[in-house]
Structure 1
Amino acid sequence: MKQKFHYATISEAIEQLKSQGFTLELNLEKDHFKADGKEYPAAEFEIVDLYRYEGPSDPADEATVYALTSKSGLKGVLVTGYGVTADDEQAEETIKHLHYKYQQRQQ
């Protein structure tokens, strides 16, 4: 699903994605996602859509909402904030890799 419009708020984006079946609330830890007490390899997921939000005056208010799907059909949402992965180099590399694959599909 290519991004067709931008939701006004992060909350609105999450709610709309949930209504589209993106029900897992994913958390990124190193090279895997955690949700509902389970772990999933990040390499099995791809970004379907993403929405970026920036605070009006503070870069620390920056966040990105990702709609992700796995090869096995799982659908989830990941929300990252500014600097969230700064202390976790592996998680930062995982996000970069997912972005790279997403950009390749968009071309």
Structure 2
Amino acid sequence: MKPHTFASEAPTLRDLARRGYRHDFNLSGAQQPDEGLDLHRHPGRFRIHEVHRFEGASDPEDMCVVYAIESESGVKGVVVDAYGHYADSQTTELLRGLAVPLP
């Protein structure tokens, strides 16, 4: 099933949650309830399935990227990161190293 394309982050996150992407992989360290799902400690255990990029029409702070990710154990979730000047450089660099399946 091909994912829908939405104009903003909120409907995209709702659609991903509906399709099983419910875990928040943004959390790390002590915040992550399951150490095996800590994306920052174990990036090799994750694969990006979809990438959705949004540009703020009037506010550069609205620019973000939503990543739909699955762990090797089958847990689906998301990472939301800004891009451009507001991006978290550590998260952006980490996500660049994850495997992305070919269409």
Same fold, judged at TM 0.5 (above)? yes
Instruction: Tell me if structure 1 keeps the 8 A contact 2:81–2:92.
Output: no
Runs of 4+, deviation exceeding 2 Å: 37-40, 57-61
Instruction: Name whichever structure is richer in strand by fraction.
Output: 1
The aligned amino acid for 2:96 is: K
Q: What's the TM-score once normalised by structure 1's chain length?
A: 0.72
Partner of 1:84: 87
The aligned amino acid for 1:46 is: R
Over the matched positions of the two proteins, sequence identity in percent amounts to 31
Matched, 1:20 2:19: yes
Q: What's the TM-score once normalised by structure 2's chain length?
A: 0.74
Partner of 1:93: 93
CA RMSD of aligned residues (A): 2.4
Q: Mind listing any 5+ residue stretches in structure 2 that lack a counterpart?
A: none
Write the distance in 2 (CA, Å) between the matches of 1:84 and 1:28: 16
Count residues in correspondence.
95
Given the superposition, is the C-alpha separation of residues 92 and 51 from structure 1 closer, same or farther in structure 2, using an over 3 Å criterion? closer
Deviation at 1:21, TM superposition (A): 0.8
- Equivalent residues in 2 for 1:1-40, closer than 5 Å: 4-27=3-26, 35=32, 37-39=33-35, 40=38
Q: Mind listing any 5+ residue stretches in structure 1 that lack a counterpart?
A: none
